Structure 1
Amino acid sequence: MKKERGPMWKKFLSKFGIGAAKVDLVLHRPHVRLGETLEGEFLLEGGSVAQHIRNLDVVLQLEVHAEGKAYRRTAAVIPVASSFTIQPGERKVLPFSYALPLHLPISRPTVRYTFVTRLDIADGADAYDQDAIHILPPTALEQVFSALAALGFREKATSGSITPHGQEFSFFPTSEFQGIVQEVEFFALVEGEGVRLYMEIDVRHGFGGEREMKRELLITHEQLRDSATAARLLREAIEEAVWAAGAFGQLSGHPLATPHSPIYSHPVGHYPPVHHSHHGGHGWAGAIGGFAAGMLAGMVAEELLDDVIDDVADGLDVDDWFDGGDGFDGGDWL
């Protein structure tokens, strides 16, 4: 007959996690948009002995892959409960709610998130739980992605990388702009009025060369709700960049340009003005991924993204970028 373990033995084993309390975070959904609130419950189960819980908290862990390495940093620590006792076999359910700030980077192949739940047990081994979470772009930014897709642009595999200024998104043409535009890169700031894009449009120039044309474009929420309008505004900004680059390098003679290509769609003077202020007063801190940019600049500047992070040491800000600083490799303003 099996002998029942005594209370002292059970308490001893619980110090090593055997027969100790457990915790499980159950999310209502495994994905959430920036700016939205993620909800769920904590399921706590007491072990074989009563245990005092010092703290229950959740760490939102950011993992960035770059240069063949993975870097993990804490994006947020979310306190849930503190100083309570869970009895043997007791079951507790506690609510979980967390609003994602807009300055976090969104999930991409090189950017991943995990919720790490920790049950801090006094005089015992802590209990842990891990849950992957996929952070989607805010609706306004997703509408920008859709408008680019309508123009035949596809997101590059390396899009979403973390730079000193925020999260940089990269798209390449597959249809009408193919052979004329190399790629379109941009940072995005979600504002009350809409989405502000800081764009660099790499236009093919000469034989094997390219010109980097910078644009600042604000698309309002009302314009974004009309997909055709959003696509038209992006098209006009890209076409104007193509024209401006061509004025310096005879782009109209590009061998891949045809009368049906966008550079022939309108006369040069047809384009409506696109706002591009040299001193707009906008900081990078509010950009999508701005949190990670500041965090990585301060914590892993010497090893992560060495080829671009040096700009941070020079105090580069949005005004430097507009004044032709190193933020976008000295591209040309239209």
Structure 2
Amino acid sequence: MLLERWNKRRNHSKRDVMAKAREIRLSMGPQIVAFGGGTGLSTLLRGLKGFTRNLTAVVTVTDEGGSSGRLRQEWGVLPPGDIRNCLVALAEDDSALNRLLSFRFDRGELAGHSLGNLILLAATELAGDFRLAVEEMNNLLAIRGRVLPVTTEAVSLHGRTKENLHVKGELDISRNGMKLEQIWLEPPGATPLPDVLSVVERAEVIVLGPGSLFTSILPNLLLPAVASAIRKSPAPVVYVANLMTQPGETETFSIFDHVKWIARTTRRYPDYVLANEDQVPEAVAKRYALAGARPLYLGEEELENMRRKGINVVVGSFLALNKEKIVRHQSHNLAEAIIRITRESQERQTWKN
């Protein structure tokens, strides 16, 4: 009995030492800022949280669909869905928490709402401020990193097509992405959170995506102060290319077409582009094709075009399939590639100094 107790105490002690060592390693990790929204950003965060605690997710606030859209219309709150997904992704144990916060009601007046969205709504009502509510959730969930809305002002997406048609709102933008000539936010002059600019200033790497080009990535960059901060930053800017095109939004786009829109918005080409080389299984590709989506791979011509622009292209095994055979990024491989870029950048800075 005494030996058994001693072994238990020893095992607990070992676990405590390992946990402390992990916390020290994570606390010494690089300062990473990731911009985006939707499932793409949360997938990336799940991988990055294994390498650093110094991680900030900056999330777009233009979502108008589903539960977030309803809460925005009925309560005037900023859309909580993408922020909830990022908070869950950065939590210490995201599996149990994800089941709880992602629970979606299926009947009554709450039908379609997720519990996490309603908790963020309640926190906003109690705090009287969406930013404070998100900060409270950051602390409550003891997440590895931090989640910030890019702005707390109510903004919406607007665009103009090549046929001079004015389109408004996330849904119309996504339907007309291939035809867009111009995209902007209204009302004009919206300001980002000061904390967003601060983390960009301190960043050792800035990550854009993965996510929908016009509705997850660009809305963050359309705030002039954010675009300016990224443009001036000495940190490497990394664009994570999508795995698939999106029907209506980027159906005919190449990876370089995505990159050109980012450069047009920030007036800076990314320093790195991460692109997948794994083949999407034929049966999965056929199913996506029926919806108007196709896999995104780098062609030789666009690869050369990007190199001429000074872009470093990293091709890797970034494809994963979930249980429903939905295409997702392989979060660990993606995070490893970003950490490698960060370390190489740090080594170059050390040599310069």
TM tier relative to shorter chain: under 0.3
**TM-score, reference length from structure 2:** 0.23
**TM-score, reference length from structure 1:** 0.24
Q: Which has the larger radius of gyration?
A: 1
